Amino acid sequence: MSARPQLGEFLQTRRARLRPADVGMPPGRDRRVSGLRREEVALLANVSVDYYIRLEQGRAENPSVAVLTAVADALRLSPAERDHLRTLTCAAPPAVPARTAVRPELEAMIQAMRDVPAIVVDRLSTVLAWNRGATAVIADFDDPRNRNLARLYFLDPHAREFYADWETVARDAVALLRRTSAEYAADPELTALVDELRTASPDFDRFWTSQDVTARSHCPKTLNHPTAGQLTFSLESLQVPGDNPQYVLTYTPTNPSTQAALETLLATRSPLRGSDWAGGAQRK
């Protein structure tokens, strides 16, 4: 997986989603593309058509900040997409960092959060640490098969039922992997995970091909728990400083009924397992 081919694919999908009317241009005649043409993007960005073509082909060496900003403005990129564009054009991507364990102090912090389910994940959405609330509410992370969120979202047969906003959750997971693939293009673990999910899940393949990126640090989260019913949380994603990105995800109950249900689960239940679902199907 290389960042330069991703650059062309990313720019193509961004201009394909725009129409001439979106940027104040007449539709013109004999259009053979649904979105903007390369020459139209070049005109909007005030760069030559040849240069923009080379940029889309990954052949423009070290584009300036001014050029990238102009292209981003022309394509109406979001802040997350602008960051992604800069990463894709980086001349020397950083080396893939070695896996690091969760610091004992961080582990102790999430264990102390008794009323708030919490997990620590890495750049591949692999769950590195979790507290009891997380196993009662989200998944049995004691089972190694459940320790990658992307696999859970796309391969667990109950995921669409469990996550009330499954498509948003799934797209966010793909967006994280897409951002990681730009920053660490030579990561063999990432390549293997993406290849596995693209083969196993048509939805993952569709979301991956869309090239969408987001940077959501907080959002509401509604879970349809198989025994406790509907639970609503406020999800916060906090990046841990360091060379090997890790993120703390906390699920704070947003209403008294969810808080009461969580307290009951913590007092009476073992980790959430596949047998909790109707029909007794096992979570994978």
Closest by Cα among 101, 124, 138 to 250: 138
Q: What is the pLDDT of residue 89?
A: 86
Residue 16, pLDDT > 80, answer yes
Average pLDDT over residues 97-122: 92
Domain assignments of the chain as residue spans, ordered by start = 3-88, 104-276
With bands split at pLDDT 50, 70 and 90, how would you rate the model's confidence at 283?
A: very low
With bands split at pLDDT 50, 70 and 90, how would you rate the model's confidence at 280?
A: very low
Q: What is the pLDDT of residue 279?
A: 35
**pTM, whole model, 2 decimals?**
0.83
- Give 204-257 pLDDT, tens digit per residue: 999 999 998 887 788 999 999 999 999 999 999 999 987 678 999 999 999 999
Q: What is the pLDDT of residue 153?
A: 96
Distance CA 75, CA 67 (A): 12
3-state secondary structure the chain: CCHHHHHHHHHHHHHHCCCHHHHCCCCCCCCCCCCCCHHHHHHHHCCCHHHHHHHHCCCCCCCCHHHHHHHHHHCCCCHHHHHHHHHHCCCCCCCCCCCCCCCHHHHHHHHHCCCCCEEEEECCCEEEEECHHHHHHCCCCCCHHHCEHHHHHHHCCCHHHHECCHHHHHHHHHHHHHHHHHHCCCCHHHHHHHHHHHHHCHHHHHHHHCCCCCCCCEEEEEEEECCCEEEEEEEEEEEECCCCCEEEEEEEECCHHHHHHHHHHHHHCCCCCHHHCCCCCCCC
Q: What is the pLDDT of residue 5?
A: 67
Give the amino acid at 45: A
Average pLDDT over residues 153-173: 94
Compute the C-alpha angle 73/215/144, nearest 5°.
Answer: 150
Average pLDDT over residues 56-72: 89
- Give 189-199 pLDDT, tens digit per residue: 999 999 999 99
Closest by Cα among 12, 72, 10 to 36: 12
Average pLDDT over residues 28-37: 77
Distance CA 222, CA 119 (A): 17
Average pLDDT over residues 7-19: 91
Average pLDDT over residues 49-61: 89
Distance CA 174, CA 166 (A): 12
Q: Please give the class, per CATH, of domain 3-88.
A: mainly alpha
Q: Is the dihedral of CA 173, 178, 184, 188 positive or negative?
A: positive
Q: What is the pLDDT of residue 242?
A: 76
Average pLDDT over residues 4-18: 87
Mean pLDDT estimate for the chain: 88
Give the range with max mean pLDDT: 11-15, 90-94, 249-253, 270-274: 249-253
Architecture of domain 104-276: 2-Layer Sandwich (3.30)
User: Residue 193 has which token pair?
Assistant: 């995970």
